[in-house]
Amino acid sequence: MNYQLSLSIILLFFSSTLLANNPEEGLSLISADGVEVNLIEEEQQDFFRLAEFNSQTKSLNFVTKDYVTFVQIYDEEGLLKFQIPVMSNKLRINPSVLESGDYKLAFVTKNNTAIQYTNLSIN
């Protein structure tokens, strides 16, 4: 009985600690001019060598560690809006072609060995 009570208290403390932490903290990749790109997991930081918002061209610029065959853009409902061929480790996305809202970017690497997802918010 004491074991179950102790385990319950530990689990309650652990879950409340996790809920108190901001899951987005440290996962911001780009935040500028009403556009935000956030990583899903910290390990993805190694995938992006460069991620920036170019204020002159109003575009999102990425340089990735791996060769990207294409990028898929999904809307809030998970519907594929665009599939953009890339065939490089450098790409530029102009967010003005998208309406305000939340999207998911899927960076599909060569031979489909890995897909790196990010969250994109446009205000």
pTM: 0.76
What pLDDT was estimated at residue 9? 42
> Residue 89 burial (CB < 10 Å; 0-12/13-18/19+)?
middle
Residue range(s) defining the domain that contains residue 90: 27-122
Average pLDDT across the chain, whole number: 83
Count of structural domains, the chain: 1
What CATH number did the domain enclosing 59 receive? 2.60.40
Residue 83 lies in a domain: yes
pLDDT higher than 50, residue 7: no
Reported as a single tens digit per residue, the pLDDT across 12-47 is 333 333 333 344 456 999 999 899 999 999 989 999
| 11 domain-assigned | no
Question: What is the rounded distance in angstroms from the CA atom of residue 4 to the CA atom of residue 54?
Answer: 55
Cα 46 from Cα 80, distance rounded (Å): 26
